[in-house]
Structure 1
Amino acid sequence: MRVIALSETTADMVDLVGGKAAGLGELIRRGERVPAGFCVTTEAYRLGVLPREEILDAYRRLGAGPVAVRSSATAEDLPDASFAGQQETVLDVTGAADLLAAITKCWDSLHNTRATAYRDARGVDHTAVRMAVVVQRMIAPDVAGVLFTANPVTGCRTEMLVDAAPGPGTTVVDGAATVDHYLLDGSARDEAGCVPPARLAELRAVGERLQRHFGRPQDVEWAIDRQGLLWLLQSRPITTLFPAPPATDKPLPRVYLEFGHVQGMLQPVTPMGMSSLKSLVSAMLAPLGIRAEIVDIGGRLYGDLTDMARSRSGRRQLVRLLAVDFGPRAQAVMRHVLADPRFAPTRGAGGGRAGGPSARTAGRAVAGIVRALARPDLARSRMFAAIERLRLDAAAPEQVRTAADRLRFVRAQEPDESPDDLIWPIVAGMLAAALPAQLLKGIAGPDEIHTVLGGMPHNVTIEMNLALWRLARDAGEHRRLLLDTPPRELAARYRHGTLPDIGLAAFLAAYGHRGAAEVDLGVPRWDEDPAPVFAVLANYLRVTDPRQAPDRRFAQAAATAEATLRELVARARRRRPVRGRIAGFLLRRARSLAGLREAGKFAGLYQLREMRRQLLLIGVDLAGAGLLDQPDDIMFLTLDEVHTAVHEGADHRDTVAERRAVHRRELRRRAVPVALLSDGTDVEAVLPAPPATDGTLTGVGAAAGRVTGPARVVHDPGTAHIEPGEILVAPTTDPGWTPLFLTAGALVSETGAIMAHGPTVAREYGIPAVICVPDATRRISTGQIVTVDGAAGTVTVTDAIAL
């Protein structure tokens, strides 16, 4: 079928007629007013020859007057790719010759520069796309525009936006004219402009109909002709919206805070990982006396903090919690929420508390913290003994052999309360690092205290990264092999036993349970896929300046920290003797204990690795039985679904395929809201914009120092190429990113908290860090010269690109 009437197209014909024609066909079938037309299908494109007679026959039946000729590619107007403006539209086409030329122009635009770049950015296979072309009777509009059935700026699902201008709709969509903007939020108002209130009400009704039909917010092009008739020219999903929170029967509105960025995770979590993380986060919050429902929004972990926000005692606790663990962006959005009358304290609100720690737990906490502060060396010794016990206990018993056995084992691995020998030295170190800032107000600034916390010993992540550096330093004759061979090829050679011995096996025996986004069960560990390790080794091998050697830089940071500590304590004791003594004691204990912060997560990863290993073995059985396509598909199921596959033979391949597609789409998302309201509003998007400063981006200083160098924007630490001294600009960081810090000149990130993993390690390496810089990975380009000032919390960007 090479030519088909628009009225005959349906939603399931995208492969034949493309996204735009399929959407228009659905509008016609729903009884909406759509200009008549036809579609030259992808079959004609595949054959490569215009079906001239069929096209001209359809054109004559249409009336042979002016028509609009528009592209309708198979990857166009889809839920995750609009391709708006990427391919051709030709208006007011009259006559056979011009019509055929316009169709050819649309065909040719499938592989124009902007469409190709758009597909590259979204991971769309160029060879899999085909072009259909829509030909419709031309409407001569009095006024035209675009209707968004949800607010595309804030994400609010209860608001609609209309942009309109007199004349053809192209003046709106191509930005060629000043347009009138209307916010439709259900309240009556006397709007001025080219669209009267009655028409706006009609557009809102249309938007509600289309959103109900398509099941998601729509971007609708419309026109009103000179006879006053409203025509719909297109309806496609709004592709930029972050997914809305799940429906709830609890009182509205509700507020959800994103928890993943605290762990340095903005990428979506696999369904299997989500189930374990919900339990893990709940277990982490329980000792703080907080009960928050953890929900999955767009594959990310959000906590429902509404009950705390509406409780007088809960909101005070919330402010303290955010100040310590969640960072300034979270603090800003929650301050806005707490000032919102809809979240005012209400009588009887439970505050989301889990009852608070018991007297027994509180007593254990005090005893454990005091013991660690009194004898830090003994506390560290006991902690690492506890970690070794956890490593040994993580292994599945030998009798776990069948899929049913393995599933029972995985289900039994609920998060346990951390042993006292593990948790209280960490808490003691965090308190010792945090309290001096208050004691030393007016005597020392945050940058000095950050310097004292640099070069911190006893950090398992630092030790891991320095072990990697030693591998690179000792590569010897294998240097060129590691530099010139792609990491994926090196990993394959290592797995097949054909790679020379560079000491990697010993490294993976100690650290192979780690990786980027390592708290997600669905993500491979380094001992499964060492390609990211080889990528880091190559970065280290590019270090040729002895002064930039990571071990030397770390030692220098430690020496500077000790010298600053001595000077700071002496100054403090002169000016405030008692406070100076206390602050000095705490800072010395911080240098003994604060590096242990990474150890708790490090220990917990042993259990996650074993759970993953057992799940993959179940996946092997299910793939062998034809119930999954490949073993790691199991990570896109829940444990209940795995149970039905193991015990009932349920085939979940379609479910896996659908979830993988959603996961791939979310992996491409570069911005994740810090907080959402139940109507989908991104709270940060409604905050007042900070004052604009030319060339200077403002964030929060997290590690002292001032460095200027070329920027390197990185989204995937596993494939990053960083030259020594470059400024690492990242959306977020977790321990899997920290090997890159060894050669980076400074760190800039879009998210984070001062005590989060990434900034902590940056301080310990002695590199400047500025966190919570909104849109840093978009506002800074690789090669631009930037100055990072960790004390001021600023990143100054020049226009120059380093060559």
Structure 2
Amino acid sequence: MGSNDVVGLDRIRRDMVPLVGGKAANLGEMAAAGERVPAGFCVTTAAYASGTVPAERVVRAYEAMGGGRVAVRSSATAEDLPDASFAGQQDTYLDVEGADAVVDAVRRCWDSLDNARAVAYRRANGIARADVGMAVVVQRMVDSATAGVMFTADPLTGTRTRTVVDAVRGPGTAVVDGSVEPDHYTVDDGHDPEEVGGCLNRAQVVALAAAGRRLRTLFGSPQDVEWAHDRDGTLWLLQSRPVTTLFPLPPQDLPDLPRFYMETGHMQGMLRPFTPLGLSLLQQVWTRWWSGAEDATDPDPLMIGVGGRLYTDLSPFLRSAVLRGRVARSMDVYGPRVRAAVEHALDDPRFAARPGLPFSASAVLRIVGGVLPSAALGVGYALARPRAARASAHRAVARLRTVRGPGAGASAARRLDWVHGPAFDAMLGRDLTAVIGPVFAGIVTGTVPAALLGGVATKEETDTVLGGLPHNVTTEMDLALWRVAERARTHGDLFTRTPPEELSARYLRGELPDIGLDAFLDSYGHRTAAEVDIGVPRWREDPAPVFGTVANYLRLEDPEQAPDRRFERARAAAEATLAELGPRAVRSRPVRGAIAVFLMRRSRELAGMREYAKFAWLVPFAEMRRQLLLVGADLADEGRLTGADDVFFLRVDEVRAAVEGTDQRDLVAERRRVHRRELRRRTVPGTLLTDGTDVEATLPAPPAAWGGLPGIAAAPGRAEGRARVVLDPAGARIEPGEILVAPTTDPGWTPLFMTAAGLVSETGSPIAHGPTVAREYGIPAVICVRDATTVIRTGDLLRVDGATGTVVVVDGRADGTG
């Protein structure tokens, strides 16, 4: 045994985690900062690596403390760290007394590194067993009069300016194990605590909150603190670990705080975190689209990234005396919870009305004089000549398909210059302008008739008119994939029994029979799930998700459920509804009815174009990705990155720095670690304040719909079937007749619709991709069903009503799977 196998807490600092583990490192740092921490020592990872408890040194350290009762706690090297707390995963032994008992408790703590809880936690957090060492902390027990747990941020709402304390009489284990209902206290920074009672007095609550703020400052992040008052009333801090479940904070260095942010990535089917380069490029797409400036940097941006998600700053609109009254109504498209959060913010004095508009006069002139005229002209042309407008849009996309970056031998700097210059010019230039006219016209014709016919036609009727729409590029893509599956039927066993990943590898090696996939990928290979993130591989690079969908289609045995027949039934229902609704509308409201009928007829020619703008700009986007991979490959060859796709974990300026000579490997490793953490996050705040508050979490829970889960009606119809909960479409399997339950959807998900009987999603909008395509296939869809992927389990029998926006769990899982 070495001299560093047992170390006193007074000698430990935070940079000693590899030797003493997270818990001991934090305790040592607290003691060094002057906090009152029970005396003790640490049996280090060096001892654990030797495999034998250094009994003599442990006994000597225990006796040097004066013996008596001690707490023996694990302190693993992956424990109490910013991304993984391991709270309660390894064992703790309290009231241990006697040298032999202490040595035995240390040994049992070692053994707990591989208990079922710890193994499952490591697996869930992607932590390898070989990367974890075990240390053990031995501390003098505090004879507690009161004890408990303190969070220096509200764990339920995420508010960083609030301290939450739970306290009980006696030892704090009753709080941790939930055996006793504790007294609860909250203290907001800069304010006195609320009226106190229970086992703590006001002075104790104030002192605890002050200690919590000190620890938050010391460690630079919100802390989960265990504490105790001894019989003399002295406060002892027993341990402090980061609160690892909080959603990251928005920018703190902007003027005019607080800010109110709304998560908008879900409108593009994007709830997973963006890669850093993907987020920065999408922000530039937005900024350059509206400003036309090549330098798209903005010191106070309208769109920001938080936790890798895309948020829009609504604060200027909430504070505008001219616009604030319209903001809440405009949120209906995002769902009732977002609207309720916005209405709550309108009552917050921090967002009080101010004179004027949220834009400068120059910005208004730029938008009015630049984007709006061309959009208005395009809409008018499309309404007058829909076929010609569609043809013009198709020609524009054909031109975009010819966009190519620098060829072989080009330098990384030249490729990056092309991505940041000519590629943006092509993606956001005249060809996209040619597309947006029929796209906007499609949105108008698809949404205005319902408003004109209120009281004359039901929402179900106006939605039915939008079923089976032609000219939707996403529907056309899915039907093209169905035709690929039809050609694959002669090789059914190959495509249904071989894993999609293996099929993908064999296809890329040219080892599969020709089923028409080359032609499909020529047209649609630039697409994928989460496709607005340039850091996500396209189907052309990895067609495994395509093969997974082909296998799903091959399992469809009922010819009447074939996608082309379902689409045709939806088309026929739409035409029949329009034929019946038109005369009724004109009889009831001659002028408005006639306008509505005209728009509904035009919707059959234009509303399907709603998907085309995104499809168009993703064409050069895929070439930009190809060029960036070539940049990454060059940088990897030069030792500044580890692999080509590391380039997507840098922002644009950081890629530029790498091209100019900076080694970015350490930065990429850290970014990948954070990205993996965010990929595991199941819930993302829909609305967020600067101090981290999830606004929806502060609101009263909505009344439960009788007999069901409330949501928003997004595609008419009713269906009953077993649920299939899918978190990622890659490799997902949807049996014919199942109800797809998903966190969100984008065009990369829609091939799954073709075997599904219905759709339930946690986010979305009636005009977003998923509901649009669901209407065209004639399958019912209910969106904005809170926690659907958690509350509903695979195998549950669901009844989905796309007209009323409700989902009923008829009974639990029939197959016992989940």
Given candidates 117, 120, 133, the residue that maps to 2:120 is 117
Q: 1:232 to 1:751 in 2, by over 3 A?
A: same
Residues 1:375 and 2:375 are matched in the alignment: no
- Structure 2 Cα separation of the partners of residues 476 and 713 of structure 1: 27
Whether contact under 8 Å (2:406, 2:415) holds in the other structure is no
Letter in 2 for 1:551: D
Structure 2 counterpart SS, 1:475: helix
Residues 1:391 and 2:404 are matched in the alignment: no
Shift of 1:277: 0.7
Letter in 2 for 1:516: A
Whether contact under 8 Å (2:489, 2:554) holds in the other structure is no
Paired residues for 1:325-474 under 5 Å: 326-348=334-356, 350-351=358-359, 354-355=363-364, 357-358=367-368, 362-392=372-402, 394-398=403-407, 401-412=410-421, 413-414=423-424, 416-417=428-429, 419-474=432-487
2:686 corresponds to: 674
Whether contact under 8 Å (2:428, 2:617) holds in the other structure is no
1:769 corresponds to: 781
Structure 2 counterpart SS, 1:355: helix
Shift of 1:656: 0.8
User: Once the two structures are superposed, what CA deviation does each residue of 1:531-555 show, in whole Å capped at 9, x if it has no partner?
Assistant: 2212222222222222222222222
Given candidates 80, 99, 102, the residue that maps to 2:102 is 99
- Structure 1 Cα separation of the partners of residues 16 and 706 of structure 2: 50
Structure 2 counterpart SS, 1:177: coil
Residues 1:27 and 2:14 are matched in the alignment: no
User: Once the two structures are superposed, what CA deviation does each residue of 1:601-660 show, in whole Å capped at 9, x if it has no partner?
Assistant: 11101121111111111111111111111111111112222222223x211111111111
Shift of 1:143: 0.5
1:581 corresponds to: 594
2:539 corresponds to: 526
1:723 corresponds to: 735
Whether contact under 8 Å (1:143, 1:168) holds in the other structure is yes
Shift of 1:85: 2.0
1:192 corresponds to: 197
Letter in 1 for 2:152: T
Letter in 2 for 1:585: F
TM-score normalised per structure 1: 0.95
Q: 1:535 to 1:295 in 2, by over 3 A?
A: same
Whether contact under 8 Å (1:788, 1:795) holds in the other structure is yes
User: Once the two structures are superposed, what CA deviation does each residue of 1:357-406 show, in whole Å capped at 9, x if it has no partner?
Assistant: 435754444432222112211211111111111222x2125487121211
Whether contact under 8 Å (1:141, 1:168) holds in the other structure is yes
* Farther off after superposition, 758-767 or 54-63: 54-63
User: Once the two structures are superposed, what CA deviation does each residue of 1:163-216 show, in whole Å capped at 9, x if it has no partner?
Assistant: 111111111111110111111013224311211111111111111111111111
User: Once the two structures are superposed, what CA deviation does each residue of 1:665-696 show, in whole Å capped at 9, x if it has no partner?
Assistant: 11111111111111111111112211235762
Whether contact under 8 Å (2:322, 2:357) holds in the other structure is no
Whether contact under 8 Å (1:400, 1:409) holds in the other structure is no
Letter in 2 for 1:329: R
Q: 1:209 to 1:458 in 2, by over 3 A?
A: same
1:153 corresponds to: 156
Whether contact under 8 Å (2:548, 2:732) holds in the other structure is yes
Whether contact under 8 Å (1:307, 1:352) holds in the other structure is no
Q: 1:791 to 1:25 in 2, by over 3 A?
A: same
Paired residues for 1:267-346 under 5 Å: 267-283=272-288, 293-316=302-325, 318-319=327-328, 321-324=330-333, 326-346=334-354
- Structure 1 Cα separation of the partners of residues 310 and 360 of structure 2: 17
User: Once the two structures are superposed, what CA deviation does each residue of 1:269-313 show, in whole Å capped at 9, x if it has no partner?
Assistant: 1111122111223356679xx996222211112222212211122
Paired residues for 1:200-211 under 5 Å: 200-211=205-216
Q: 1:179 to 1:639 in 2, by over 3 A?
A: same
Whether contact under 8 Å (1:308, 1:352) holds in the other structure is no
Shift of 1:18: 2.2
Structure 2 counterpart SS, 1:154: coil
Residues 1:54 and 2:57 are matched in the alignment: yes
Structure 1 counterpart SS, 2:364: coil
Q: 1:286 to 1:776 in 2, by over 3 A?
A: farther
User: Once the two structures are superposed, what CA deviation does each residue of 1:92-126 show, in whole Å capped at 9, x if it has no partner?
Assistant: 12234433443333333323333333333322224
- Structure 2 Cα separation of the partners of residues 331 and 193 of structure 1: 38
Structure 2 counterpart SS, 1:146: strand
2:295 corresponds to: none
- Structure 1 Cα separation of the partners of residues 317 and 195 of structure 2: 39
User: Once the two structures are superposed, what CA deviation does each residue of 1:558-585 show, in whole Å capped at 9, x if it has no partner?
Assistant: 1222222222223323433433332222
Structure 2 counterpart SS, 1:313: coil
Structure 2 counterpart SS, 1:516: coil
- Structure 1 Cα separation of the partners of residues 766 and 373 of structure 2: 28
Q: 1:659 to 1:84 in 2, by over 3 A?
A: same
- Structure 1 Cα separation of the partners of residues 22 and 548 of structure 2: 39
Given candidates 528, 531, 549, the residue that maps to 1:536 is 549
Letter in 2 for 1:213: L
Whether contact under 8 Å (1:407, 1:643) holds in the other structure is yes
Given candidates 475, 484, 488, the residue that maps to 2:488 is 475
TM-score normalised per structure 2: 0.93
How well do the aligned residues superpose, as a CA RMSD in angstroms?
A: 2.2
Shift of 1:2: 3.2
- Structure 2 Cα separation of the partners of residues 722 and 505 of structure 1: 24
- Structure 2 Cα separation of the partners of residues 352 and 720 of structure 1: 48
1:250 corresponds to: 255
User: Once the two structures are superposed, what CA deviation does each residue of 1:216-250 show, in whole Å capped at 9, x if it has no partner?
Assistant: 11111111111211111111111111111111341
Residues 1:653 and 2:665 are matched in the alignment: yes
Shift of 1:68: 1.3
- Structure 1 Cα separation of the partners of residues 494 and 5 of structure 2: 54
Identity of aligned residues (%): 58
Whether contact under 8 Å (1:372, 1:379) holds in the other structure is yes
Letter in 2 for 1:452: V
Residues 1:599 and 2:612 are matched in the alignment: yes
Q: 1:795 to 1:124 in 2, by over 3 A?
A: farther
Letter in 1 for 2:93: V
Letter in 1 for 2:354: T
Which structure 1 segments of 5+ residues have no match?
none
Q: 1:314 to 1:658 in 2, by over 3 A?
A: same
Whether contact under 8 Å (1:454, 1:558) holds in the other structure is yes
Whether contact under 8 Å (1:328, 1:753) holds in the other structure is no
- Structure 1 Cα separation of the partners of residues 396 and 471 of structure 2: 15
Whether contact under 8 Å (1:220, 1:232) holds in the other structure is yes
2:72 corresponds to: 69
Letter in 2 for 1:88: D
Whether contact under 8 Å (1:292, 1:305) holds in the other structure is no
2:44 corresponds to: 41
Shift of 1:417: 4.8
1:561 corresponds to: 574
Whether contact under 8 Å (1:314, 1:352) holds in the other structure is no
1:611 corresponds to: 624
- Structure 2 Cα separation of the partners of residues 618 and 728 of structure 1: 39
2:750 corresponds to: 738
* Farther off after superposition, 51-60 or 524-533: 51-60
- Structure 2 Cα separation of the partners of residues 360 and 402 of structure 1: 35
2:808 corresponds to: 796
Whether contact under 8 Å (1:283, 1:417) holds in the other structure is no
1:662 corresponds to: 674
